[in-house]
Chain A
Amino acid sequence: MWRYFIRKFNLLIITIFLLSLLSFSLLHLMPGAPIDALDPDSSLSLAEKSALIQHYALDQGYWSQYIHYMGNIFSGDWGTSRIDQIPIFAQMINSFMATLQLAISAMFVAMLVGVPLGIISAYYHGSWFDRGVTTLTLIGQSVPVFWWALMLILIFALGLHWLPISGRIGLLYDIPEVTHILLIDIALADDEYQRAALWSAIRHIMLPTLAISIIPTTALAQITRASLIDISEKNYIQAARAKGLSRYQVLWRHALPNYFSSFIRHVGALTNPLLTTTMVVEYIFSWPGAGRWLIHSLVAQDVPAIQACMLTISIFVICVSVITDLLAAWSDPQQRSMPHG
């Protein structure tokens, strides 16, 4: 296990180094000189320009610029946004936490709905329920997320007036930001309207969660079903059945524990599509998250913000993938010896 841990940790460090290099190089990959990329409208005064050159150490060589950039990253000085002149680091934490809240609640729904669906359809393999779930997962995988989100808005917000369309919480509530995850902040806030605020926040998160969760839910149902059917053909399951255990006992005692490690692995692999989906859905629901911020900064050519988003999101993805790999290896020693898994 230690060998595996060190190998994965090594991989993590190298990957983060490459990602930071890519994020840093973005400034140089832009057409024109780096200073033009930071100031596409040439609207800055000479003093502001020299401040920027100072901040990014643009008058030095490539590698010393990189070291300077990393120093800035670690000291929490991520530059200021070109558009609204606010520090990027604070904005990044704010919006990334909003994204995380949305992504985690979607993943939660997916685990709550998708995994049981997969288990039941594998248990009754070949029944009408199984066929129904297979059809549903195929349909769910083929629906364009943005279209699905708009249809949800059309039905639940505009048609039935059940749920609000956009934002995170009603405008009336003023919640002090401590953890930047709204639901926790509300729980911490000592307010007479706490309950109402919580209800408002939950109503706001429902539609985007529903919109995003279609992808991980169907994926998890499909994967769970396929893996359990694969496992049920293994010899140890046959042996357990021959021993006289009921199908139900076999499922709980033998099949599901063996499914756990590949489940963890698949959850890790789902992070990437989950974040992609979240970014699109945020844009539709005006959810103040990293995806929406990224698209706005792209339109406004705000390079430092794009760099920050790219670095944060991709490092998050690689960290989740390494953690899930470690968890999977911890629960299933066979996977530790795989050359690259």
Chain B
Amino acid sequence: MSTNIEVAAQAATIAADGQWPLWEVFTQSEQAAPHEHAGSLHAVDAEQAIQNARDVYARRGGVISLWVVPAGAITASSASDAGPLFDPGADKAYRHPQFYKAPRGVRVF
């Protein structure tokens, strides 16, 4: 079983040159807003990543919550896959309300 600890440990593996591991920082600007990617930083562990994220990305205020993720733990889709991954979603008109008709004068919502 792959625990979170293992994932974090692998993701935060030290580089050969002693460089601290890279973390990605996500900030939430207000309640109910999504966390958005703010940038990255280096830190040796999660506690330090949170502290550094606070000082680097929240020092001007406007942040109410932080996520930090070891950069290596993020799997990103590949640009060459963009066609098969995303284009098919772009032409499914039946997923959108405008596709469906309602009798004139009736409010459906």
- A and B: real partners? no
Interface, chain B (partner A; CB < 8 A): none
